[in-house]
Structure 1
Amino acid sequence: LQVCCVRIANMFIVKRVVSAGGSFAPHCTSLSVSHFSACHCLASSRRHSPYSSVDRERYTSLVKSVMSSRVSSQTPETLQAEDEHMYGPVVRTPPPRPDMRVPKTLHPFLRCETTEETQEPESGPPVRISLKREQGGSFVPSVTRILQQTLSPEQIFYLERWKRRMIAELGEDGFKEYTQNLFRQGKLFHSALEDILMSGSTWKDKSLSEAPKYPSEVLGYMESISHILEDISAVRAIESTVQHDTLNYLGIVDCVARYRGVLCIIDWKTSDKPKPFLSNTYDNPIQVAAYAGALNSDENYKYQVENGLIVVAYKDGTPAHAHQLSSELMLEYWKTWLLRLEEFREQR
């Protein structure tokens, strides 16, 4: 068999040389292999072959290359094993570990003494408790203020870089006008939402008859959240103040309602860029958990909320993204909020 391979390979060489203008004799290229036998030693007479003078060792590498010109049988697993044998095992970078710190005092998220008998009925108009700061009273920081003053160095770096880039594009006055417009659009958006939720109607009903009365800046946002509003029911509070007397902080909840049957703290956000993942919302989950913890401890509310919802609306009418926070996630963000609250107190 080896002799056959050598001869076939050498025939291949002869033909390649002839086709390239070589000087081999014509009769060498017309040899037939149709009756070639591996048992050539049994032939009755041995005829002189033009290949007898070929140096077999010289073309051993060629034969090997011809015989091995097949698809490799190695798999990704065997290639990795070979690579590890030659260069050592692959050092994999471990995923970033979550913050393993724990609050010094793990304050409860829920008010344990609340029972089913003390739950408020879900009928009736939504509650709205206005913010009242007592004259001469002690200062109670807001959730927004605490989060702003406890940003990580990385968050501060990216915020400052974004601000410098925007100023470079718009100028100082242009950037100031841009931020003012964002604030105004946010207020108009929340006002339109409040009107719809207080009336108990849907955006579809409003868009057919009363949409023109809303500012043009919010029409895209309202269209963006229209599919979310269809799943909102049993609204219990709108733009209502919540306060945690034990931890001494307060906030204003956008909405408390049922989303697909689950009672949630709902936070409405606007954005120019898509935010399809919860991680894109930065500190918003911590904010929602802080609001829920304050509401659960506030005597003005006779019910408890364990879940959250962050809705990101888009000005161009693109369907909003709804990020649900389960009770397990809310507890994790509640611990993070307690750490931020401790950091804020240490700073002061």
Structure 2
Amino acid sequence: MLVLKRVVSVGGIIVPQCTSLSVSCFSASHCLNSPKRHSPYSSVDSERYSSLVKSVMSVRVSSQTPETLQAEDEHIYGPVVKAQTTSSGPKMRGPKTLHPFLNCEETLNLEEPESGQPVRIALNRGQGRSSVPSVTRILQQTLSPDQIFYLERWKKRMIAELGEEGFKQYSLNLFRQGKLFHSAVEEVLTSGTPQNRNLSETPEYPPDVQGYMESISHILEDVGAVRAIESTVQHNALNYLGVADCVARYRGVLCVIDWKTSEKPKPFLRNTYDNPIQVAAYAGALNNDANYKYQVENGLIVVAYKDGSPGHAHKLSSELMLEYWKTWLVRLEEFTEQRSSHA
């Protein structure tokens, strides 16, 4: 029995078929000696169809590569301008002079006894400080064009909604709430150690700051060993000053702490805009101020919310503080250049 297979095309689908043949005698010599099949194409007039064959064979289906396609697009539409990736954003220029963040002559004393009332050095402009610019003023006058644009847009939108007088009243209320909030925080921090504080029993706070205090109650539990509150710091070599909100330990680490209020959530450090630069400027001034016999390498920005939702504590490590210190030196140089050009 011999089984032969053949292939049949049905509707474009190739289907193999088997055929069984009964063979009584099969000889290889018979196949070899069988007459050669005559091809139907042997009688085709090749001369007649030569031009057609040449035209078909000369057609190139597609020899283009990604490189040739890109070159063709650039020729028609111009070269592609590639956008910068997020990681390789515009580089900030470094400061012309890298002043030290820490005072090399001052012994790094972080174990100084932390007892007694916190230091409070009031800002007195009458003692030769009238010409010394503040950190806040320097940052305000060296805002980037983008920062100025968004700030002005926000201001115009608020004026359109509240009117000129309404916006002034809104700004005054924000300032008043800020002072009340700082006073309330000071009262908590000077009332004893974190273990002795009972933040839940503080209904005497004004209604305007009650939500703020509730917002940061869980953060205040980790703040202790307060060394300074609302205290002036001055960098004589760089000629600037500021008032640091607080110097204390947060979870055991000595920090310059800045208290902020916000109507919008600020869950990430980048949401605090120039606040990290401000904290680094305060710490650098404190480290070079003879009134403080210790050095601070870390920072903390605490954001409180009026609705009482849990506030955010953004920690600034010593490495981050050094980076923001460099940015501060650049802003300080820009401010000095502005003053020189105006003079």
TM-score (norm 1): 0.74
1:118 and 1:302 in contact (8 A); partners too: no
Q: How many residues align?
A: 283
Instruction: Quickly say closer, same or farther: Cα 1:165–1:282, change in 2 above 3 A.
Output: same
Partner of 1:268: 259
Partner of 2:319: 328
Matched, 1:343 2:334: yes
Partner of 1:154: 146
2:95 and 2:329 in contact (8 A); partners too: yes
1:224 and 1:317 in contact (8 A); partners too: yes
Q: Distance in 2 between matches of 1:136 and 1:300?
A: 16
Cα deviations across residues 217-260 of structure 1 (Å, max 9, x unaligned)?
Answer: 11110111011111112111111110001111110000111111
RMSD after superposition: 2.8
Partner of 1:194: 186
Partner of 2:131: 139
1:257 and 1:263 in contact (8 A); partners too: yes
Matched, 1:127 2:119: yes
Q: Distance in 2 between matches of 1:237 and 1:275?
A: 26
Q: Distance in 2 between matches of 1:7 and 1:41?
A: 21
Cα deviations across residues 257-288 of structure 1 (Å, max 9, x unaligned)?
Answer: 11111111000100000011111100000000
Partner of 2:28: none
State which structure, 1 or 2, has the greater radius of gyration over its C-alpha atoms: 2
Partner of 2:169: 177
Q: Deviation at 1:85?
A: 6.6
Matched, 1:221 2:225: no
Q: Deviation at 1:40?
A: 3.2
Q: Deviation at 1:93?
A: 3.3
Matched, 1:254 2:245: yes
Partner of 1:313: 304
**Identical columns (%):** 71
Q: Distance in 2 between matches of 1:124 and 1:261?
A: 18
Q: Which has the higher strand share?
A: 2
Consecutive unaligned residues of structure 2, counting only runs of 5 or more, are 23-64, 72-79
Partner of 2:98: 106
Q: Deviation at 1:97?
A: 2.7
Cα deviations across residues 200-223 of structure 1 (Å, max 9, x unaligned)?
Answer: 255961432xx2221011111011
Q: Which has the higher helix share?
A: 1
Cα deviations across residues 312-343 of structure 1 (Å, max 9, x unaligned)?
Answer: 11011111111111111111111111111111
Cα deviations across residues 97-146 of structure 1 (Å, max 9, x unaligned)?
Answer: 35341212111100112225796321222111111122666511100000
Q: Distance in 1 between matches of 2:273 and 2:110?
A: 35
Partner of 2:74: none
Cα deviations across residues 5-54 of structure 1 (Å, max 9, x unaligned)?
Answer: 736969xxxxxxxxxxxxxxxxxxxxxxxxxx83334468xxxxxxxxxx
Q: Distance in 1 between matches of 2:188 and 2:215?
A: 14
